[in-house]
Amino acid sequence: MLRFLLLTSLAALVLAVPQPRYLEHNTAEERVVGGEVARPNSWPWQISLQYKSGSSFYHTCGGTLVKAGWVMTAAHCVDRTMTWRVVLGDHNINTNEGREQYMSVSQVYVHPNWNSNNVAAGYDIALLRLSTNAVLNNYVQLASLPPSGQVLPHNNNCYITGWGRTQTGGNLSTQLKQAYLPVVAHSTCSQYDWWGSTVKNTMVCAGGGSDSGCQGDSGGPLNCSVNGQWVVHGVTSFVSSSGCNTYKKPTVFTRVSAYTSWMNSIMG
């Protein structure tokens, strides 16, 4: 589920924004349907993005390890100046299980066209340069990314993952969760009684049925099964203000394959 919600100028959309845990005044209903606790470290590219408040760090968004020194997340997670860190290899965010790697963020690259006042325009993607490279092992691995321009078919199997809230007004899930969200084709998702023109072809829709889940944090991955391999096709961007599982309002993700050239220009 999205960590914190902020009603944007587009009344239909809600975003996750970093703020201290005790500021839990939400402007929209939150609903979580479906999902289960993931097997520990079964999504080894999933990271926890945390911000510093006082002397402590707090989880606020998800993200994906795409190179040893680089993390992909949502622009709306990091479009303000804060002290960030990334935790890799985590499962229970309240416990140090000995597998975690804690990395400071040396630089934040928000897509230059991102506009927090116009979420529906897209470009909700950012790259974080880590201060040191991750050590790859059984618990920390790089995500596979799709080839440029690839669009998945309707009903392609995907999972959203994250440490989002487990109930309205409740706490974060301490353990990483996963929820099954099949792809909704753009031709369907952009119909007037679905998301309409709000959804651009640089986005991916997934879920949207009465029994779909919305367990993942904003900025986290949409993990899709392609030819027997898990490939990160989306970055969690926004949901309906009516709730994650609103009929015909699937969760919307930034389509990773639409930003391949931009990402390559930043990461080299």
Q: Are 200 and 259 in contact (CB under 8 A)?
A: no
One of 124, 190, 237, 240 is an active-site residue; which one? 124
Annotated catalytic residue 193: no
Q: Rounded to a whole number, what is the largest CA-CA distance in the chain?
A: 49
One of 218, 240, 241, 257 is an active-site residue; which one? 218
- Residue 83 identity: T
- Residue 50 identity: Q
Q: Are 52 and 70 in contact (CB under 8 A)?
A: no
Q: Are 252 and 238 in contact (CB under 8 A)?
A: yes
One of 76, 91, 111, 186 is an active-site residue; which one? 76
Return the number of other C-beta atoms located less than 10 Å from residue 75's C-beta. Answer: 26
Annotated catalytic residue 79: no
Q: Say whether 238 sits in a helix, a strand or coil.
A: strand
Phi-psi region at 237: left, alpha or beta (left = phi > 0; alpha = psi -120 to 50) = alpha
Q: How far, in whole angstroms, is CA 250 from its chain's centroid?
A: 14
Backbone angles phi, psi at 223, to 5 degrees: -95, 115
Q: Are 43 and 216 in contact (CB under 8 A)?
A: no
Q: Are 238 and 15 in contact (CB under 8 A)?
A: yes
Residues 6+ apart with CB under 8 A from 48: 59, 62, 63, 86, 87, 90, 93, 163
Catalytic positions: 76, 124, 218
